[in-house]
Amino acid sequence: MKTIGLIGGMSWESTRLYYEHLNRGVQQRLGGLHSARILLSSLDFAPIATMQREARWDEAGELLASEAVRLEGAGADLIALSTNTMHKCAAQITASIRIPFLHIVDPLIAALRADGRDRPLLLATRFTMEDRFFVERLEAANLRPMVPPADDRIALHAIIFDELCKGIVTGTSEQTAKRLIADSAADGADCVILGCTEICMLIQPDTVSMPVYDTTALHTAALVGAAV
């Protein structure tokens, strides 16, 4: 089994989900008492969140790249970043290491293509919805992603940082997310991407009317496949 080098802590709530999914996935694949081999570097999210707000992306990328190098040196066979937003810095990470980096968008693209979806609604932080790094990767795969209107992007961003990153899930926020999904369906969306690793805490696939593609679940499944 290969060792997964996981850069986490952004937030620790979603990293907890990664740890659980990776271990359950390996156990399901191999049976018995098997669990995932993981080297976890769990960062303090507060200074990184400040870098995000202040658009200090190069500095954030240098930090993440240094963690990837540390994990590689400690024996990791592949590197993963347990956050969607910080994939804005993916190029800096891949340039710093010799081992594979599994990008979070690639398993998502494979799933959308397999199901014949091409007009997904992207729900995520404002950075992910508005900065082009995520959307461009989808568009390069001939997909046509859409995002909510500006006011709704602001509201969703606040839900993620003020609630989900702190482990808070409210009925009001769940209804807001469901409304965004319903509105997008009326505008032609054929599915919804949970494009923030915490949003799966808010939206369950069986509670909305469109197919749901959870990047956390897809990314961890691909990591399990690569590891075993």
| pLDDT tens track for 44-92 | 999 999 999 999 999 999 999 999 999 999 999 999 999 999 999 999 9
The residue extents of the domains of the chain are: 3-103+218-227, 105-215
The pLDDT value recorded for residue 186 is 86
The pLDDT value recorded for residue 17 is 95
The pLDDT value recorded for residue 85 is 97
Q: Could you give phi then psi for residue 85, rounded to 5 degrees?
A: -55, -45
Active-site annotation, residues = 83, 196
Pairing between β-strand 37-42 and β-strand 212-214 as defined by DSSP bridges = unpaired
Structure tokens belonging to residue 169: 């899930």
Global pTM reads: 0.95
Structure tokens belonging to residue 228: 């075993």
Q: Could you give phi then psi for residue 170, rounded to 5 degrees?
A: -115, 155
> How confident is the model over 106-129, as a mean pLDDT?
97
Q: Give the Cα separation of 36 and 17 in Å (integer).
A: 14
The separation between CA 27 and the C-alpha centre of its own chain, rounded to angstroms, equals 22
Q: Give the Cα separation of 24 and 214 in Å (integer).
A: 17
The pLDDT value recorded for residue 121 is 97
105-215 has which fold? Answer: Rossmann fold (3.40.50)
* CATH architecture under which domain 3-103+218-227 falls: 3-Layer(aba) Sandwich (3.40)
In CATH terms, are 3-103+218-227 and 105-215 the same topology?
A: yes
In the predicted model, is pLDDT for residue 208 greater than 90? Answer: no
Query: 196: which strand partners?
Result: none
